[in-house]
């Protein structure tokens, strides 16, 4: 084995013709490693990998790919070094499954830890953490204690709403779910109503919404739950702490009062994973108690595992009620939602 | 060699065609109805605005520092290059933060006026088309400043003397002689700046400006149609190439080889209000395009460092970034030298099609980095798999993914993306070398290779240096291709910044951003200093004449 | 165009480039209507002097006056000096007519009047009908004449020319020299001319100022400076000259004043050995050696006699009246 590795290094140096072999080794199967392609930001996911390595001795090599993860894996084909693919939203997970880039696994550990609604019915992908798409309001200027997503289109918010781009996956997810609930036409009306209420052009990130609320540009906006933890914890610096403290977080429901829009991050084992066993081990580790705790404490996400502890900053937001529409149904409307955003001209 | 390069350059286009061909085009009615009109209008306004800003600032500053004497001129002449070191996305983020109602500027203003409510003070919104024009214009004007200044200094000095001796004052000389003469340089510079604008995605999406490139991106990500994205990208590539071709045509025959070697006269001294205005005109772009974003980064990085210390991996990020950029620069310059050399008129038979290769090779500059990267994925991976299959069947051993696994793919992308730059500088350097020199070398019995190495390469050194430095800086700043094509577990400064930005922890990226600026400053300073003092430094013919199509 | 050119006075101009002194306390008066040539090797400061005079270059001390008026506060564009540049400096983006008309346009002249004046000027330099051409399509000589017409059409107080004929072939140069001479006489122009070509200076000038090291080392009519050089430098710079030492000190003798006769077998003073015979067309140049003295003589071809051969002995002689002693 060792010989083969060295030999392959030599060939790669010869073929590539660049003095890169030392620093950038071509990847391949090794005894104790697992390769991860992730659209999850490394800062959010790295602590997990470190814990995994500590526990198992298996080295995790992760590459953060923002877009094109699926395209890259597809192009690499049979020789892809990827073992585990992690994605930041369920739409991408479903996309991976539809394109046949992942493989089914049968793991009792995973099946027990992850509730059925939060994993691929076919055994492909598994959700690892959750976050709610919350409504943020100005602490000082808004007194409402409960709000619905539909309420964002209420004319009383005219000129007071801030969001990131409508085409961002976080918003596409919410709009898709609205479509599942109310149909395309009503969702179009709703989205046009929200657009009419905008206080500024959609753009930036969720945290910009909090900052703009602090600045008085808006009074109400949409943002993911974990950002509240990140801001309020002071991990992003003093400024962000002040943004986080300018808002009050409402975990809204749809008009049917069933629950909040929740998106998941998740992972799946790549179809041609060279280290499949290690990938499964890592995946199992990620739904274990220690990892779920890290998700909660470092990333301020909701653990998928029943009974895992939620970080106090997030727990303080109130009890999360999860909207029961199945993720697959929501994902099916994504393309339509995206076209709706275009039609309404939400981002223009 | 020329043929091989042409094929390689066209590889990402092939990749795009591959993706585009998989699509049915059923997205087009929707795109035409709802996306493209607005995106096109936004893009055109943005291009127009940035074009005007970079032309006015670039030409104006070049004229002032080249032809006039005023306090701070020597310093500003060099400092005007500094914004080259600021990536557009960093500029955009810095301005968003600094000019935000809760940022230092507005907070300061409110304190000044005794206002407490952030809403009480009206302030222009940076997250807008005008804001994007300002930010992009402020960091991109050096593309115009650099070649225009060189033209004013070297080619036309005696023409300005002639105009003045005929009674034309400063303004008339500028408007009637300098401006028309600088057209080729300005056109080249503006077209570069506009291609950068067209390709930009970081700054545009930060500032909520939905350009065509942003639409390509969202068509891929949100509309879940890489086929549609590739189709738009191909159309945009055709449009960009057509624009470049047009620019090339407009320039055709406009290369005025006037001026000769006569040393230019002393600069016109300005005094009083005129001197102050000139100094302000030149200092403002330096402030807006460099001083403010750089000091913003400095403050942010300092806060970060004093709270959490330096990131342990900083050294590795810098090493990775510099390594990739250096290798890509070396390869790009070498290829450019060979291509330009093969395309020169003296190359003899076969020069016809070879002359077109530098144009084709410049195509990469007209492609957004994201598009080029996605386009490269397919051919690179196909090649990798081909090699692997061959090795398996021959030796029963798997090589895995050599190119994409080793960083070679990133380097390949850099070279394709930025090859236009050294081609441009070396071409203009070549134009300055008397063909008789080569003839004399040949008559002394030297072959083509020896002539290239012993005669042309040393003579072209300033042009090569300028090209190399600019490619290096551009590679340092490159993001989308690095992100998509880099090997496992491999971070550069740019990918680290982006990762932090994606997470929203921009401050954590400040140190890496500052490192990019700092490392980029070195070559920028070298370019600047090499042209200082000697008013006829060839290094300043620098910026490329990017061109596609027949020369 | 009947007005008379104006006078130029240069007083005590000193200028440095960095630490190098390029003009050293230089003074000269140029009379109205005079054709004054600054002659010198490259680096002698002649072009810098020209630029100082026109106003392109600042200087540390001294004064430039035109027609008695100090030019200190008058910028180039208001000095009304016509200038012909070494490389012509024609505006490549304007056609010939626009080039010539540029100075008139600046002076606010009406379009029709400009067109008339441009046509006149073109006719004057023998380029009638070329107004629409771009400069790049003209020959060197034609470009030169366009540059001249452009400088003349503004009716300048002074016409300044910086090596204007350097790039032309000999015949063309001679033709334009002749034309220039005629123009000078016809227009009573004050012309300040810079060249490194001594023949050109001798042919054209009313007065020649020979420059070396940022100073004028001698000035005078062509005849004066040619026959009465004040220093060996001037003597050798202006045409060929034998510089010898005898008991009375150094002496200068023009080669055309040296007579040569065959002197087979002779030796002693006044006898030299031929080292080179150079065919000049109108005559021949003999270079011979008499001890450490190099003898150069220009003589007619001997009619009927055999030509001199290298290694042959000659006796050389000269009239004492032709000998010039330096002061």
SS (H, E, C) chain A: CHHHHHHHHHHHHHHHCCCCCCCCCCCCCCCCEEEEEECCCHHHHHHHHHHHHHHHCCEEEEEECCCCHHHHHHHHHHHCCCCEEEECCHHHHHHHHHCCCEECCCCHHHHHHCCHHHECCCCCEEEEEEEEEEEEEECCCCCCCCCECHHHHCHHHCCCEECCCCCCHHHHHHHHHHHHHHHHHHHHHHHHHHHHHECCCCCCCHHHHHHHHHHCCCCEEEEEHHHHHHHHCCCCCHHHHHHHHHEEEECCECCCCCCECEEEEEEEEECCCCCHHHHHHHHHHHCCHHHHHHHHHHHCCEECCCCCCCCHHHHCCCCCCECCCCHHHHHHCHHHHHHHHHHHCCCC
CA nearest neighbour of A251 among A297, A302, A300, A319: A319
Least confident of B68-82, B153-167, B441-455, C128-142: B441-455
The phi and psi torsions of B76 (rounded to 5 degrees) equal -70, -35
Whether C126 and C226 map to the same domain: the answer is yes
The yes-or-no verdict on residue B436 having pLDDT over 80 is no
Pairing outcome for strands C271-279 and C207-212: unpaired
| Predicted local distance difference test score (pLDDT) of residue B345 | 65
Tokens of residue C32, six digits: 């109205």
**Alpha-carbon gap, residue A11 to B447, rounded angstroms:** 34
Core vs surface per residue B381-410: b (16+ CB within 10 A) or e: bbbbbebbeebeeeeeebbbbbbbbbbbbb
- Which residue reads 């790009």 in tokens? B332
Looking at the complex, report in whole angstroms how far the Cα of residue B53 sits from the nearest Cα belonging to chain C. 25
The yes-or-no verdict on residue C211 having pLDDT over 70 is yes
Asked whether the beta carbons of A52 and A290 are under 8 A apart, the reply is: no
Please report whether residue C3 resides in a domain: no
Higher pLDDT, B539 or B301: B301
Map out the domains of chain A with their CATH numbers. Answer: 2-129+262-311 (3.40.190.10), 131-261+318-344 (3.40.190.10)
Asked whether the beta carbons of A284 and A109 are under 8 A apart, the reply is: yes
Average pLDDT over residues A288-312: 88
The fraction of chain C above a pLDDT of 90, given in percent, is: 45
CA nearest neighbour of B143 among B424, B364, B373: B424
A237 neighbourhood in chain B, CB within 8 Å: 303-304, 307, 507
Least confident of A33-42, A250-259, B316-325: A33-42
Helix (H) or strand (E) holding B50: helix B36-67
Looking at the complex, report in whole angstroms how far the Cα of residue B75 sits from the nearest Cα belonging to chain C. 19
Per-residue pLDDT tens for A8-21? 444 443 344 333 33
B158 neighbourhood in chain C, CB within 8 Å: 85-87, 89
Domain that includes residue C259, residue range: 242-325
| Predicted local distance difference test score (pLDDT) of residue B538 | 35
Please report whether residue C286 resides in a domain: yes
Whether C95 and C212 map to the same domain: the answer is yes
C118 CB within 8 Å of a chain B CB? no
Per-residue pLDDT tens for A56-112? 999 998 887 777 788 888 888 888 889 999 998 888 898 899 889 999 999 999 999
Of A25, A172, A345, the CB nearest to B222: A172
How does residue B502 score in pLDDT terms, banded at 50, 70 and 90? low
The yes-or-no verdict on residue B351 having pLDDT over 70 is no
Pairing outcome for strands C69-70 and A84-87: unpaired
B377 CB within 8 Å of a chain A CB? yes
Chain B CA closest to residue A338: B223
Higher pLDDT, A86 or B532: A86
Whether C24 and C163 map to the same domain: the answer is yes
Of A95, A242, A342, the CB nearest to B224: A95
Please report whether residue C198 resides in a domain: yes
Question: Considering only CB atoms, which residues of chain B are within 8 Å of chain C?
Answer: 158-159, 161-169, 172, 176-177, 180-181, 183, 254, 256, 258-262, 265-266, 268-269
Per-residue pLDDT tens for B442-496? 777 677 777 777 778 888 887 788 788 888 988 998 888 888 788 877 888 888 8
- The B residues from 269 to 308 touching A (CB cutoff 8 Å) are 303-304, 307
The yes-or-no verdict on residue B169 having pLDDT over 70 is yes
Please report whether residue C279 resides in a domain: yes
Tokens of residue C27, six digits: 């003074």
Looking at the complex, report in whole angstroms how far the Cα of residue A248 sits from the nearest Cα belonging to chain B. 18
The fraction of chain C above a pLDDT of 70, given in percent, is: 98
Please list the residues that pair with C207 across neighbouring strands: C36
**Contact between chain A and chain B (3 or more Cβ pairs less than 8 Å apart):** yes
**Alpha-carbon gap, residue B404 to B401, rounded angstroms:** 6
CA nearest neighbour of C197 among C37, C23, C84, C45: C37
Torsion of CA A254, A260, A265, A267, to 10 degrees: -80
Looking at the complex, report in whole angstroms how far the Cα of residue A161 sits from the nearest Cα belonging to chain B. 15
Least confident of A333-337, B17-21, C47-51: B17-21
The yes-or-no verdict on residue B9 having pLDDT over 70 is yes
The yes-or-no verdict on residue C20 having pLDDT over 80 is yes
**Alpha-carbon gap, residue B235 to B32, rounded angstroms:** 13
Looking at the complex, report in whole angstroms how far the Cα of residue A212 sits from the nearest Cα belonging to chain B. 8
Task: Provide the number of structural domains found in chain C.
Answer: 2
Helix (H) or strand (E) holding C121: helix C111-124
B161 neighbourhood in chain C, CB within 8 Å: 56, 76, 83, 85, 89
- Which residue reads 């012909």 in tokens? C84
Please report whether residue C2 resides in a domain: no
B489 neighbourhood in chain A, CB within 8 Å: 61-63
CA nearest neighbour of B202 among B91, B111, B37, B99: B91
How does residue C221 score in pLDDT terms, banded at 50, 70 and 90? very high
| Predicted local distance difference test score (pLDDT) of residue B192 | 81
The yes-or-no verdict on residue A164 having pLDDT over 50 is yes
Least confident of B77-86, B531-540, C70-79: B531-540
Asked whether the beta carbons of B524 and B85 are under 8 A apart, the reply is: yes
Which of A237-241, B186-190, B246-250, C70-74 is predicted most confidently? Answer: C70-74
For chain B, which chains pass the contact test of at least 3 CB pairs under 8 Å? A, C
Average pLDDT over residues C72-84: 88
The yes-or-no verdict on residue C259 having pLDDT over 60 is yes
Interface with chain B: mutation pick from C51, C75, C93, C95, highest number of B CBs within 10 Å: C93
Tokens of residue B193, six digits: 């700046």
B127 neighbourhood in chain A, CB within 8 Å: 200-201, 203-204
Say whether C54 and B165 touch across the interface (CB within 8 A): yes
C160 neighbourhood in chain B, CB within 8 Å: 165
The fraction of chain B above a pLDDT of 90, given in percent, is: 17
Map out the domains of chain B with their CATH numbers. Answer: 2-262+277-541 (1.10.3720.10)
* CATH number, domain with residue C277: 2.40.50.140
How does residue B531 score in pLDDT terms, banded at 50, 70 and 90? low
Whether C116 and C189 map to the same domain: the answer is yes
**Contact between chain B and chain C (3 or more Cβ pairs less than 8 Å apart):** yes
Of the residues C205, C232, C259, the one at which a domain ends: C232
The fraction of chain B above a pLDDT of 70, given in percent, is: 86
**Alpha-carbon gap, residue C64 to C49, rounded angstroms:** 10
B327 CB within 8 Å of a chain A CB? yes
The yes-or-no verdict on residue A208 having pLDDT over 60 is yes
* CATH number, domain with residue C114: 3.40.50.300
Q: 3-class DSSP state for residue C235?
A: helix
The yes-or-no verdict on residue C165 having pLDDT over 90 is no
Chain-wide mean pLDDT for chain A?
A: 86
């Amino acid at each position: 084995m060792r010989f083969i590795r060295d030999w392959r290094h030599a060939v790669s140096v010869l073929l590539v013709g660049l003095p890169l072999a030392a620093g950038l080794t071509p990847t391949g199967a090794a005894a104790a490693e697992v390769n991860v392609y992730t659209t999850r930001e490394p800062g959010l996911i790295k602590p997990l990998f470190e814990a995994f390595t500590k526990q198992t001795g298996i080295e995790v090599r992760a590459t953060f790919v923002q877009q094109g993860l699926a395209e890259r894996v597809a192009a690499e084909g049979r020789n892809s070094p990827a073992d585990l693919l992690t994605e930041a939203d369920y739409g991408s997970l479903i996309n991976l499954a539809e394109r046949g880039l992942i493989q089914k696994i049968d793991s009792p550990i995973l099946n027990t830890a992850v509730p059925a609604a939060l994993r691929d019915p076919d055994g492909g992908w598994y959700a690892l953490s959750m976050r709610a798409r919350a409504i943020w309001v100005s602490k000082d200027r808004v007194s409402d204690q409960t709000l619905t997503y539909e309420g964002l289109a209420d004319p009383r918010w005219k000129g007071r709403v801030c969001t990131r781009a409508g085409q961002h996956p976080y918003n596409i997810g919410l709009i898709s779910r609205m479509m599942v609930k109310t149909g395309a036409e009503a969702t179009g009306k709703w989205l046009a109503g929200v657009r009419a209420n905008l206080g500024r052009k959609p753009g930036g990130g969720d945290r910009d919404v909090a900052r703009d609320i602090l600045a008085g540009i808006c009074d109400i906006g949409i943002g993911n739950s974990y950002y509240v933890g990140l801001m309020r914890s002071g991990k992003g610096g003093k400024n962000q702490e002040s943004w986080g403290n300018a808002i009050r977080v409402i975990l809204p429901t749809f008009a049917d009062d069933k629950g909040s829009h929740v998106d998941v991050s998740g992972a799946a084992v790549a179809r041609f994973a060279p280290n499949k066993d290690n990938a499964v081990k890592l995946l199992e580790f990620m739904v274990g108690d220690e990892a779920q705790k890290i998700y909660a404490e470092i990333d301020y996400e909701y653990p998928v595992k029943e009974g895992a502890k939620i970080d106090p900053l997030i727990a303080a937001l109130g009890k999360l009620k999860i909207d029961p529409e199945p993720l697959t149904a929501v994902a099916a409307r994504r393309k339509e939602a995206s076209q709706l955003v275009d039609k309404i001209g939400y981002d223009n | 060699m020329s043929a091989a390069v042409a094929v390689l350059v066209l590889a990402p286009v092939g990749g795009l065609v591959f993706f585009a061909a998989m699509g049915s085009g059923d997205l087009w009615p929707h795109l035409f109805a709802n996306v493209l009109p607005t995106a096109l209008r936004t893009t055109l306004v943005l291009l127009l605005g940035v074009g005007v800003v970079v032309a006015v600032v670039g030409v104006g500053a070049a004229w002032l520092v080249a032809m006039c004497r005023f306090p701070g001129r020597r310093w500003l002449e060099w400092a005007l290059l500094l914004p080259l070191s600021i990536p557009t996305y960093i500029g955009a983020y810095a301005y968003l933060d600094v000019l935000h109602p809760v940022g230092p500027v507005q907070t300061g203003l409110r304190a000044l006026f005794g206002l407490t409510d952030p809403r009480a003070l009206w302030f222009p919104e940076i997250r807008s088309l005008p804001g994007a024009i300002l930010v992009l214009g402020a960091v991109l004007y050096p593309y115009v400043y650099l070649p225009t200044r060189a033209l004013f200094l070297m080619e036309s000095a005696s023409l300005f003397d002639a105009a003045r001796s005929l009674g034309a004052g400063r303004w008339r000389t500028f408007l009637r002689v300098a401006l028309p003469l600088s057209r080729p340089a300005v056109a080249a510079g503006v077209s570069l700046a506009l291609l950068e604008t067209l390709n930009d995605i970081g700054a545009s999406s930060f500032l909520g400006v939905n350009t065509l490139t942003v639409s390509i991106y969202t068509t891929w990500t949100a509309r879940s149609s890489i086929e549609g994205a590739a189709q738009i990208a191909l159309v945009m590539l055709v449009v960009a190439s057509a624009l470049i071709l047009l620019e090339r045509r407009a320039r055709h025959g406009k290369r005025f080889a006037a001026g000769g070697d006569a040393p230019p006269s002393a600069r016109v001294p300005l005094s009083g209000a005129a001197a102050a205005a000139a100094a302000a005109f030149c200092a403002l772009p330096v402030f807006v395009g460099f001083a403010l974003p750089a000091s913003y980064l400095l403050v942010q990085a300092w806060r970060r460092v004093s709270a959490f210390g330096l990131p342990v991996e900083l050294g590795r990020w810098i090493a990775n970034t510099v390594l990739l950029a250096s290798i890509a620069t070396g390869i790009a310059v070498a290829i450019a030298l060979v291509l330009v050399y093969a395309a020169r008129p003296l190359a003899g038979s076969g020069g016809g099609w070879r002359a077109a290769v530098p144009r084709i090779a410049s195509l990469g500059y007209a492609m957004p980095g994201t598009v080029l990267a996605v386009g490269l994925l397919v051919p690179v991976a196909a090649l990798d798999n081909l090699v692997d299959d061959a090795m398996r069947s021959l030796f029963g051993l798997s090589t895995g993914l050599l190119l994409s696994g080793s960083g070679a793919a990133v380097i390949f992308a850099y070279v394709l993306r930025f090859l236009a730059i050294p081609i441009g500088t070396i071409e203009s350097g070549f134009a300055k070398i008397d063909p008789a020199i080569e003839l004399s070398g040949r008559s002394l019995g030297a072959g083509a290779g020896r002539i290239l190495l012993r005669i042309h390469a040393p003579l072209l050194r300033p042009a090569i240096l300028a090209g190399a430095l600019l490619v290096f800086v551009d590679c340092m700043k490159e993001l989308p291709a690095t992100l998509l094509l880099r090997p496992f577990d491999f971070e550069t400064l740019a990918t680290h910044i982006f990762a932090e930005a994606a997470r929203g922890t921009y401050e954590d990226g400040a140190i890496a951003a500052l490192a990019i600026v700092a490392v980029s400053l070195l070559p920028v300073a070298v370019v600047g200093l090499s042209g200082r003092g000697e008013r006829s430094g060839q290094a300043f013919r620098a910026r490329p004449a990017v061109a596609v199509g027949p020369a | 165009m009947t007005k008379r050119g104006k006078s130029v006075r240069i007083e005590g101009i000193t200028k440095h480039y960095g630490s190098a002194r390029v003009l050293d306390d230089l003074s000269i008066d140029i009379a109205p209507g005079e054709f004054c040539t600054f002659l010198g090797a490259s680096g002698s400061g002649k072009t810098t002097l020209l630029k100082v005079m026109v106003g392109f270059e600042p200087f540390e001390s001294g004064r430039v006056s035109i027609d008695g008026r100090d030019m200190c506060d008058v910028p180039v564009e208001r000095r009304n000096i016509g200038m012909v540049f070494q490389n012509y400096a024609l505006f490549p983006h304007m056609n010939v007519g626009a080039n010539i008309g540029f100075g008139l346009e600046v002076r606010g002249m009406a379009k029709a009047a400009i067109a008339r004046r441009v046509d006149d000027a073109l006719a004057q330099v023998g380029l009638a009908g070329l107004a629409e051409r771009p400069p790049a399509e003209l020959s060197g000589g034609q470009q030169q004449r366009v540059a001249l017409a452009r400088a003349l059409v503004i009716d300048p107080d002074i016409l300044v020319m910086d090596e204007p004929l350097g790039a032309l072939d000999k015949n063309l140069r001679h033709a334009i020299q002749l034309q220039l001479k005629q123009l000078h006489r016809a227009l009573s122009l004050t012309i300040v001319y810079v060249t490194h070509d001594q023949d050109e200076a001798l042919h054209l000038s009313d007065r020649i100022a020979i420059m070396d090291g940022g100073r004028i080392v001698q000035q005078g009519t062509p005849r004066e400076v040619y026959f009465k050089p004040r220093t060996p430098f001037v003597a050798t710079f202006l045409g060929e000259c034998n510089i010898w030492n005898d008991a009375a000190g150094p002496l200068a003798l023009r080669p055309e004043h040296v007579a040569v006769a065959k002197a087979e077998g002779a030796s002693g003073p006044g006898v030299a050995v031929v080292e080179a015979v150079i065919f000049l067309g109108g005559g021949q140049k003999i270079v011979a050696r008499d001890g450490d003295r190099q003898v150069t003589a220009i003589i007619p071809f001997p009619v009927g006699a055999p030509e001199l051969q290298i290694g042959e002995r000659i006796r050389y002689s000269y009239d004492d009246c032709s000998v010039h002693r330096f002061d």
